[in-house]
Structure 1
Amino acid sequence: MEDLEDLMANEVVLDRCGNWVESQKNCFYTKEDSLKQKLDELECDDWYNTDSEFDSVSECGGKKRKVGTQLKDEVLDLICEWKECTFRSNHLDKFLRHVSSHIPNIQISIKNDNEVYVCQWKDCPYNTDVDDEVIRHVNYHAYHTKLKCIGSNVRAKIKLPKCHRDAEWKNILDSPPPHLCRWEECLKLFTNYQMYLYHVTVHMTDCPRGNRIKDGVDCKWTGCNGKYTSLYKLRDHVRCHTKEKIIACPDCGVTFASKTKFHIHCQRQIPLEVQGFRCSHCNKFYPTEGILRDHMRSHVFNYKCTLCDMSCESPSGLAKHVRYRHMSTRTFPCQLCSHAAKSQQDLDSHMTVHTNGPNFSCYFEGCLYTCKGAYTLDRHLERVHSLAVRWYCCHECPIKYRKSYRLTKHLIEAHRLQLPSGHKRFHYTQEEDGCYRLQMVRYEAVDEENMLPVEEADLPDKKYKIELNQTTSLTTVKIVEDNSEEEMKEAAQDSQEETAENGVDKFVPVISNILISIDDVDEKGNIIKQEIVEIQETKELPPSEKPLLILT
Structure 2
Amino acid sequence: MPPNKRMHKKTMKLECGWGSCQESFSRMENFCKHAEGHLSALDTVEDEEEDCLWRDCGFCSVEGPEELRRHLFFHCYHTKLKQFGQQVLNAQPDIGTCSIGYPNCNIVPEIPENFVCLWKECEQPPFENPEWFYRHVEMHSLLIDIPAGDCEFPIRCGWKDCEATTKGRPKLREHLRSHTQEKVVACPGCGGMYANNTKLFDHIIRQKDMEGKSQRFQCSHCSKRFATERLLRDHMRTHVSHYKCPLCDMTCPSPSALRNHIKFRHSNEKPYSCDCCEYRCKNLIDLRKHLDTHSSEPTFHCDIHDCSFTSRTLGTMKIHQKREHEGTFMARYKCHVCDKCFTRGNSLTVHLHKKHQFKWPSGHPRFRYKKHEDGFMRLQLIRYESVELTEQLMREKQNRQADEDEDQSEEQEMEVEPLGEAPSELQAELRGVLLEEQSAEEPNISTRDDSQEEAMLFVLNRGLS
| TM-score after normalising by structure 2 | 0.48
| TM-score after normalising by structure 1 | 0.41
Structure with larger RCO (C-alpha < 8 A, sep 6+): 2
Whose Rg is larger?
Answer: 1
